[in-house]
Structure 1
Amino acid sequence: MALLLSSCNSFLDTKKEVITNTGNKINPNSKLGKEKIRQDNLLKKNIANEKIKKINEEKQKKIQEEYSKKSTEENLILAKATNEKNTDLCKTITIPDIKESCENNLIIIKAVDSNN
């Protein structure tokens, strides 16, 4: 019951006054006051969404940079494995497409070698 009363009190605890962009004070329960509160909340939400978007873009950029670096490293392993005909090196590759290419290259090399 106390929790219900507490939540009702916090719901009823509204702003005593709202200050407009021009600095005028208005009643928060008036039509203009409610609209100002709605606009302020919308602005806060938009600002928060922009911050979240920026953080996500930075995270995505970092992930792509790491993937690019990893991809370069694994392509070098693929080249080495192909040149040395080393299946064990192919097993160390973690990016599926590159690993598959490495294995396919070695299958082709083995087939060519067996035909010669």
Structure 2
Amino acid sequence: MSRSAYVTDLKTLHSECTANYLRLTRLVGELGEGEMREVIETPRMRVHLYHDVRMAEVTDFQRQRHFHGRYRYPNARMHQPDEKLQLNRFLGEWLEHGLSHGHFLDLPQLP
């Protein structure tokens, strides 16, 4: 029985990163280019915001960097084939948890 190779689902990854951008802006407000905010909570991750396409992507998780869109499985670090998508989904769940428990930036409403 042959297994087909994992193919990165770019549409799903793009959707997750777009939703995470919106969640992050609700939590920390708009960030300018090169501006950083540090939130002291676990888990430890670095998220890059791409303002031109309104996306947020996990680029660093628990001090591991440079995640690929897909991995062969098994591999030395035991990454899942869709590790990058799973990390961004985790970020979305974590942000949604914060938002659902009342953690958000109380921005004034525009007229």
**Shorter-chain TM-score tier:** under 0.3
More helix by share: 1
TM-score of the pair, normalised by structure 1: 0.25
Q: Which has the higher contact order (CA 8 A, sep 6+)?
A: 2
Q: Which is greater in Rg?
A: 1
More strand by share: 2
